[in-house]
């Protein structure tokens, strides 16, 4: 069997920006001294006059992007998820969210798969922070193909978008030309026993888990919920009605992310038992990404364990 192709979604981000930049003169990119890491350097090489380094000053960068957007440009402001959503939270809220400006935030290095840099850089709170801003769209693509499509979709929609990408190269399972729609979940495997709703790098793990569970007699539905907000409520409710049990999986705190978004919906509209897989209420630490993901239970193996326990097998 051929080895699965792996791409970091941050690489896909840089590639997508460069491709879109060739088509659209009004696309500009801002970075805060991390162009090499966020991969906006790919865009910078192609369009140096449309790439604006703001230095190590994320709060200022976010507001500069807001100002540029009012002049008809479409800025993608980039930094690590920790700084884009955390350090600059209030700037995002007040200067982008409140006036509902057309700024895209390209946040890389989300989650604990940042690895060796450790807890200070492992942002597991960004979905929670960004979801809480009225009118903000929050997307976390599952592979390189989806990441590229999400960047294009974000450019094409009018309004603020937070895009979360990862540092780690992860398997690509979408076909080229995949049609991504903001706010629409994707059923990757049909099932009736339990609905596994995942995003980011947990989607591939959920697919693997679905196959392993099938071999053990559990028929799991697997859904890629790349858009955390607005949540595809229709699909969540439909899957829940069909399966009666839900597992959410995300490389994010179990507080405030996809899991809680699903729980909030279900507790009001269709009370159903839910198990949340994510980073529990704790900080990460240094280590190789793969080892960390395993240690924190962000793996197919752990999803299988939880699903079996949940289904009483």
Positions touching another protein (CB under 8 A) are 28, 49-50, 52, 54-55, 57, 59-60, 62-73, 90-91, 94-95, 98-100
CB of 100 to another protein, least distance (A): 7
CB-wise, 90 or 309, nearer to another protein?
Answer: 90
CB of 66 to another protein, least distance (A): 5
Q: Are 232 and 258 in contact (CB under 8 A)?
A: no
CB-wise, 4 or 56, nearer to another protein?
Answer: 56
Alpha helices in the chain (DSSP H): 9-23, 35-38, 41-46, 58-69, 81, 89-91, 126-131, 144-156, 202-215, 233-243, 258-269, 289-295, 300-310
From first CA to last CA, the distance across the chain in angstroms is 31
CB of 103 to another protein, least distance (A): 10
Residues 145 and 13: their CA atoms lie apart, in Å, by 10
Q: Which phi-psi region, left, alpha or beta, contains residue 298 (left: φ > 0; alpha: ψ -120 to 50)? A: beta
CB-wise, 24 or 189, nearer to another protein?
Answer: 24
Name the active-site residue from 3, 58, 251, 282.
58
CB of 225 to another protein, least distance (A): 30
CB-wise, 93 or 184, nearer to another protein?
Answer: 93
Spatial neighbors of 145 by CB under 8 A, at least 6 apart, are: 12, 172, 174, 175, 176, 178
Q: How far is CA 204 from the centre of its chain?
A: 13
Rg (CA), the chain: 19
Helices and strands per DSSP (H, E), number in the chain? 13, 14
Q: Provide the edge-to-edge strand list for the sheet that holds 274-279.
A: 186-189, 220-224, 194-198, 246-253, 274-279
CB of 263 to another protein, least distance (A): 31
CB of 82 to another protein, least distance (A): 18
Backbone angles phi, psi at 223, to 5 degrees: -125, 135
58 is catalytic: yes
CB-wise, 65 or 262, nearer to another protein?
Answer: 65
CB-wise, 50 or 104, nearer to another protein?
Answer: 50
Active-site residues, by number, are 58
């Amino acid at each position: 069997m051929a080895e699965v192709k792996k791409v970091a979604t941050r690489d896909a981000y840089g590639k997508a920006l460069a491709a879109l930049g060739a088509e659209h003169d009004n696309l500009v990119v801002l970075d805060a001294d991390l162009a090499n890491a966020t991969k906006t350097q790919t865009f910078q090489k192609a369009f140096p006059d449309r790439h604006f380094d703001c230095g190590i000053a994320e709060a200022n960068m976010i507001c500069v992007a807001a100002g540029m957007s009012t002049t008809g440009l479409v800025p993608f402001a980039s930094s690590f998820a920790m700084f884009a959503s955390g350090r600059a939270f209030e700037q995002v809220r007040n200067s982008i969210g409140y006036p509902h400006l057309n700024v895209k935030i390209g946040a890389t290095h989300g989650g604990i798969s940042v690895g060796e840099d450790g807890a200070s850089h492992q942002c597991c709170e960004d979905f929670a922070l960004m979801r809480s801003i009225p009118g903000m769209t929050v997307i976390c693509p599952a592979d390189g193909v989806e990441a590229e499509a999400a960047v294009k979709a974000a450019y094409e929609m009018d309004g603020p978008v937070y895009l979360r990408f990862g540092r780690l190269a992860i398997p690509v399972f979408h076909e080229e030309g995949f049609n991504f729609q903001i706010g629409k979940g994707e059923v990757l495997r049909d099932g009736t026993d339990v609905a596994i709703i995942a995003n980011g790098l947990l989607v591939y793990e959920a697919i693997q888990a679905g196959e392993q569970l099938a071999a053990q007699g559990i028929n799991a539905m697997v859904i890629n919920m790349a858009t955390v907000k607005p949540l595809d409520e229709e699909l969540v409710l439909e899957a829940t009605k069909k399966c009666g049990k839900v597992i959410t999986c995300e490389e994010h705190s179990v507080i405030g992310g996809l899991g809680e978004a699903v729980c909030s919906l279900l507790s009001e509209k269709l009370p159903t038992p839910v198990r949340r897989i994510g980073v529990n209420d704790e900080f990460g630490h240094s280590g190789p990404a793969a080892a960390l993901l395993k240690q924190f239970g962000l793996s197919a193996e752990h999803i299988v364990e939880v699903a079996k326990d949940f289904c009483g097998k």
